[in-house]
Amino acid sequence: MVGFTRIARPEPLALEILASCLEGHDVRIADLRAGEDLGHVLQEFEPQVVGVTGYTIHAPRMLTICQEVKAHNSLITTVAGGHHASLSPEDFDVPDVDYIVIGEGERTFQELVDALETGQDVTQIDGIVHRQHGAQVATPPRELIADLDDTPLPRRELVDRYRSDYFFQFWSSPALIETARGCPYKCTFCSVWKFYQGKCRFKSAERVVAEVERVNEEVVCFTDDNFLQDMRRAEKIESLIRETGLKFRYWLQARSDSIVRRPDLIEKWADIGLSTILIGFEKFREEEMTDLNKRNTVATNEEASRILRANGIDIWGAFIVDPLWERADFDALIEYVRKLHISFPQFTVLTPLPGTQLFQEKLHTLTTHDYELFDFLHSVLPTKLPLPEFYENMARLYSNTAMTVEELKRKLRSGDIPHSSLRRIKGVLSELTCKESYLHTLEP
């Protein structure tokens, strides 16, 4: 189906980190996105425990995986984890899912697997949902890891055989590095603050650079929600990278108000290889911004764009489309994006994710409960325009703001876009700019 899966398929960082926690156990990562055959892995590896991860759109697939595992051998223990399972464990209330790990997995999964091996009482483990007499029972919540430097380095080598299948935007096989967890803001559409209990924790600059030093790839993507949340740390990471002479192309996410606060830091990062920043612009009208509780302004977004352009950094700008928009609203956004010269605009339909304030507010107006449609390109709320027209406008957003051929040629010449990514990018664009691809999945 149409979706962002063609824009990014990075290495499964969560699974690599969890694998590191399972010292003394035989661990294998099976990446089904890369075409791995589940049946084959089950037969060959004969696991005793199978853990499965995913976001909201993956929830149905996570369930069928657990089903397939149990059908293969009912004695295998199945464990679900990650954002969706943590925030909506009730969606996994089926006999095929034995345990759900709520929140951070490092210590909980390790304790669970150890207990399963030694036959200890798993109900004594904090942070899990288990089944008792056919019903889900939760143990007390797990405390957050106090010092993220204590988390193990990811076992990246476990996915070596899939490396050539990973990509991120234009880049093949990027390295994902997590340097912090949590966000202090409480945006209505986001579940991150719920997941991390509104708390922010950071790995030390030294630990981050130690992780960067181990990377064998050309591109490093920092996964943090706002890499610039702690400015002093971002500055220290930059100076340590400069001292060690590490040469990578960096990708990160940041809030526009952080960028505006320290343009000097942006300049320094540009100098050591910062290539693209993803900014959640969200809206282009001040009043709509307030509704989201983003605690940021359109004016700040514009100032941040100016700073990034001045430093030659590409902007991946994400905008939220309101299902209640009319054609004129789409026109206004097209004009706005063009004015701001955003290199890679991204348009997503306002989607109430389970676990968010928005979900609570909109639960009763959802037009579907099919999680596969919670892909941010389909509306799961009533639209003002008839659906075919709404999607025609979504397609129009992409076709009217995509990079011009001249710009593309310039980026190919400068190496900012590798030739090898052209076919994939062309495929994504032809999908996003065609209204039929959105409607296709709505047909029975």
CA 84/CA 349 separation, integer angstroms:
19
CB 395 within 8 A of CB 431: no
Nearer residue to ligand B12 within complex by CB, 225 or 329: 225
Nearer residue to ligand B12 within complex by CB, 305 or 357: 357
> In whole angstroms, how close is the CB of 7 to ligand B12 at the nearest point?
6
Residue 364 CB neighbours (<10 A): 6
> In whole angstroms, how close is the CB of 135 to ligand B12 at the nearest point?
21
Q: Of 209, 213, 214, 207, whose CA–CA distance to 240 is shortest?
A: 209
Nearer residue to ligand B12 within complex by CB, 334 or 353: 353
Residue 214 phi/psi, 5° resolution? -85, -5
CA 211/CA 225 separation, integer angstroms:
18
CA of residue 146 relative to chain centroid, distance = 23
Map residue 138 onto helix, strand or coil.
strand
Nearer residue to ligand B12 within complex by CB, 106 or 217: 106
> In whole angstroms, how close is the CB of 415 to ligand B12 at the nearest point?
22
> In whole angstroms, how close is the CB of 406 to ligand B12 at the nearest point?
27
> In whole angstroms, how close is the CB of 409 to ligand B12 at the nearest point?
26
Nearer residue to ligand B12 within complex by CB, 300 or 351: 351
CA 249/CA 270 separation, integer angstroms:
10
Nearer residue to ligand B12 within complex by CB, 211 or 267: 211
Angle (CA) 245-247-252 rounded to 5° is: 115
Q: What DSSP string describes 40-68?
A: HHHHHH--SEEEE---GGGHHHHHHHHHH
Q: Which residues bind ligand B12 (CB under 6 A)?
A: 4-5, 7-8, 10, 13-14, 17-18, 51-53, 55-56, 79, 81-84, 101, 104-106, 109, 176, 178, 190-192, 223, 225, 278, 318, 348, 353, 376
CB 86 within 8 A of CB 195: yes
Residue 228 phi/psi, 5° resolution? -95, 15
> In whole angstroms, how close is the CB of 35 to ligand B12 at the nearest point?
16
Residue number, nearest CB to ligand B12: 81
CA 360/CA 379 separation, integer angstroms:
17
> In whole angstroms, how close is the CB of 245 to ligand B12 at the nearest point?
27
Nearer residue to ligand B12 within complex by CB, 81 or 244: 81
